[in-house]
Amino acid sequence: MTADSSEAVPPKKPFLLKNIFLFSRLLVVIAIVVLLLASIVVIVTGFLQLLEIIRVLLHEGIHLEETGTFLAVSVTEIIDLYLIGLVLIIFAFGLYQLFINPDINVPAWMETTSLDELKVRLLIVVAVILAVMFLGYAASPRDGIFIAGVGIAIAAVMIAVGYILRIAVGSHYEKKRLEMQGAHQEKQG
């Protein structure tokens, strides 16, 4: 054996851990792309529903008794679709900011510093979606007992969501208050 071959080979770096980390980032990138594609689909669907409403109004006319209710419910559902599409975009940017590049330039209201912030945004949208769903049921010609049951179920879910939001937002503000208080004490000390 020569002196060169007897030298110690340096230990390999944790190759598996590095690959797992890279693979997880790839999964996040895939999730971001899927969220952006889903937002496009949802927003385009809202636009197509608006075109359908216009077609129905032009074909059926606007003199029907139910036109006002039809328009109110339909337009609210379209707004709901746009809201869902925009939330998907906000989630995509939030994931990008959390896992890929935290220094991305976004407006202050879109800044995401934790997964909890994304969860709170999702819960708010769920509450709005439930309210829109109930509006659709209430405006439809269904049995009053059915509508009352749906209303009670949706109200129960919205109360739970509101409670969770209150706790989440309250703890977020308490954490910020304590951080500011600590920073203020450091300046004085």
pLDDT for the residue 31: 95
Q: List the structure tokens of 128.
A: 């709005």
The Cα–Cα gap between 41 and 84 comes to 11
Question: Taking the model in full, what pTM does it have?
Answer: 0.69
pLDDT for the residue 30: 96
- Stated length of the chain: 189
pLDDT for the residue 76: 85
3-class SS letters over 55-84: HHHHHHCCCCCCHHHHHHHHHHHHHHHHHH
Among 24-33, 45-54, 106-115, which is the least confidently predicted range? 106-115
Which residue has better confidence, 173 or 59? 59
Do residues 107 and 90 make contact, with C-beta atoms less than 8 angstroms apart? no
* Residues 75-82, mean pLDDT to the nearest whole number: 89
pLDDT at 5 over 60: no
Taking the alpha carbons at both ends of the chain, their separation in whole angstroms is: 66
Among 6-10, 101-105, 145-149, which is the least confidently predicted range? 6-10
| 189 band by pLDDT with thresholds 50, 70 and 90 | low
pLDDT at 13 over 70: no
Q: For residue 85, with 0-12 CB atoms within 10 Å meaning exposed, 13-18 middle and 19 or more buried, which class applies?
A: buried
Question: Does an H or E element contain 102, and which?
Answer: none
pLDDT at 27 over 80: yes
